[in-house]
């Protein structure tokens, strides 16, 4: 066969290998079996009523729910447990995985919820940035974190694995990949039940669902 034929074959092989490389490179936003799921819980951890939110820090809908959820958790802090788990939708939110990393890195210094709040409160600032790490470092400094340790943890495989473990845990529920996703005692809540006539989440609608669950649990 001609040298030209083999040259073409060689180019195809190189291109194919490159595609495999970049595809694998993106898997830090996919699945990893080695990590343990996160365990960010507040409220009454002994409660029989457990509300879990799978959220994306860049998701604007999650950002809209954030202040309502915060009020709900404050209202029911002595009655229910509330857990936030990572579900960054990286295909549509380019900085979502990085936002989850920032929260998990802050968790290493016992400032998870503080970083969680800052990320949502400042969502419009960092979410479209080409380099959101600059903002995350500012938030870490604002929270009094050790900056060097924060940056090390932010880039660590351990933090990556925790986020991926949360994603895998969500996939096992069989629910659609959409955020926010709320589960009450393991059963997914339909978002429509939490919205008013203007399609806005309300504390009252959350309360109706939680009060019913508490009554069933005898609390």
In this predicted structure, what is the pLDDT of residue 187? Answer: 98
**Residue range 143-157: average pLDDT?**
98
Going by DSSP bridges, is the β-strand pair 81-86/50-55 parallel, antiparallel, or unpaired?
parallel
In this predicted structure, what is the pLDDT of residue 34? Answer: 62
In this predicted structure, what is the pLDDT of residue 35? Answer: 83
C-alpha distances (whole Å) from 30 to each of 23, 78, 107, 160, 162 are 11, 36, 21, 10, 11
In this predicted structure, what is the pLDDT of residue 2? Answer: 45
Q: What fold, for 40-217?
A: Glutaredoxin (3.40.30)
Please tell me the distance from the alpha carbon of residue 66 to that of residue 48, in angstroms, as a whole number.
23
**Residue range 146-167: average pLDDT?**
98
Long-range pairs for 151-160: beta carbons < 8 A, 24 or more residues apart: 151/105, 153/104, 153/105, 153/108, 153/109, 154/101, 154/102, 154/105, 155/101, 156/105, 158/35, 159/101, 159/104, 159/105, 159/108, 160/28, 160/32, 160/35, 160/101
Query: Of the given ranges (22-26, 108-112, 148-152), which has the lowest mean pLDDT?
Result: 22-26
Among 129, 143, 160, which Cα is nearest to 58's?
A: 129
**Residue range 79-89: average pLDDT?**
98
Among 112, 69, 50, which Cα is nearest to 202's?
A: 69
Confidence of residue 118 (pLDDT cuts 50, 70, 90): very high
Q: Per-residue pLDDT for 13 more than 90?
A: no
- Please, what is the average pLDDT of the chain? 88
Q: Where is pLDDT greater, at 168 or 9?
A: 168
pTM of the entire predicted model: 0.84
For the chain, what are the domain ranges? 40-217
β-bridge mates for residue 184, sequence order: 51, 187
In this predicted structure, what is the pLDDT of residue 109? Answer: 98
In this predicted structure, what is the pLDDT of residue 28? Answer: 42
């Amino acid at each position: 066969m001609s040298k030209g034929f083999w040259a073409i074959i060689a180019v195809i092989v190189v291109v194919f290998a490159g595609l495999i490389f970049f595809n694998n490179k993106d898997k830090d936003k996919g699945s990893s079996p080695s990590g343990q799921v996160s365990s960010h819980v507040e409220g009454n951890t002994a409660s029989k009523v457990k509300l879990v939110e799978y959220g994306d820090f860049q998701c604007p809908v999650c950002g809209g729910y954030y202040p309502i959820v915060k009020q709900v958790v404050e209202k029911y802090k002595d009655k229910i447990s509330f857990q936030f788990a990572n579900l960054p939708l990286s295909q549509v939110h380019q900085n979502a995985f990085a936002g989850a990393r920032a929260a998990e890195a802050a968790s290493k210094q016992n400032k998870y919820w503080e970083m969680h709040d800052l990320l949502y409160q400042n969502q419009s600032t960092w979410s479209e940035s080409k380099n959101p790490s600059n903002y995350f470092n500012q938030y870490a400094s604002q929270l009094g974190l050790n900056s060097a340790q924060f940056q090390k943890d932010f880039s660590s495989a351990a933090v990556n694995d925790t986020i991926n473990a949360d994603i895998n845990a969500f996939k096992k529920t069989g629910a659609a990949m959409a955020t926010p996703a709320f589960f009450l005692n393991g059963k997914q809540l339909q978002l429509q039940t939490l919205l008013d006539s203007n399609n806005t989440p309300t504390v009252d609608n959350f309360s109706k669902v939680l009060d019913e669950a508490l009554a069933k649990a005898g609390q």
